[in-house]
Amino acid sequence: MPEGDTVWLAAKRMDTALHGATLRRGELRVPQLAAVDLAGAVVAEVVPRGKHMLIRLADGRTLRTHYRMDGSWHIYRPGSRWRGGPGHSIRAVLATEEWECVGYRLHDMAMVPTAQEDQLVGHLGPDVLGPGWDLDEALRRLRARPDEQIGVAILDQRNLAGPGNLYKVESLFLCGVNPWARVADVPDLPALVERARTLMLANRERPEQSTTGDTRRGQDHWVAGRKGRPCRRCRTPIQLGDQGPDLQERVTWWCPSCQATPVPVDPHARTGLPGTPARRARY
């Protein structure tokens, strides 16, 4: 799933292309919005909210899109070949005289009055990359469920909006926290949250996502994608497991040595694993 920094960068580029421009073509190719024609509308701004993109129009409407696992926006000059996928995967076309913004495999598309955006994103926690970032509020939301697995809690966008699986596993490793530890057992929760934010801030201006400071392929992450390979710190083989609510499990990498915990954890008896109660994460 694209992380919040990916959406942040895409929104910045979309805003550069569309800000203040009049749409000569505005197609929304999803059943609930198929009758909406945005041609003639003026784009006021494009802003990110966690993993959501909000395209605000000057007439007081907002179009929300979400990437989920495979969505993307592509920007082309008029006359260029569109290369984001087959034509049937296009969900939106927003074109001006200078740019053509094409949305592939977009999800959760909705249109609401801008004044009612909270209907779409009001459930989200503080935006890690937003101007109104509020660490105290994010910590309050995380601590409200002290028995939640920290690896699940970090991904729950109701706690803090933006982090995805990459920044979850990388920040947990860098802070020496076991993914299956309870929120209440994390020794320095503020440091963990701020670590995830620091990593996202470092990557938001570029498409490459590096948490090591090295953007070379195979050198860019500490644990993500490195199952069985030696830990960069202690040489212990990196482990891989599934974590999260049923049918929403996310692969989780960790070092059993660097992320050992003094508090016993039992992945098979905690929230989000088969046979146990689980809250449905909202994205």
Catalytic residues, by residue number, are 2-3, 51, 250
Question: SS3 for 281?
Answer: coil
Helix (H) or strand (E) holding 103: strand 100-104
Helix (H) or strand (E) holding 95: strand 90-95
Query: Which residue in 167, 154, 267, 164 sits closest to 223, CA to CA?
Result: 167
Distance, CA of 134 to CA of 180 (rounded, Å): 25
Residues whose CB is less than 8 angstroms from the CB of residue 77 and which lie 6 or more positions away in sequence, other chains included: 98, 99, 100
Contact 185, 149 (CB under 8 A): no
Phi and psi (nearest 5°) for 176? 65, 35
Query: Which residue in 172, 169, 269 sits closest to 226, CA to CA?
Result: 169
DSSP letter (8 states) at residue 230: B
Distance, CA of 28 to CA of 95 (rounded, Å): 12
Helix 165-174 × helix 189-203 angle, to 10°? 130
74, β-bridge pairs: 102
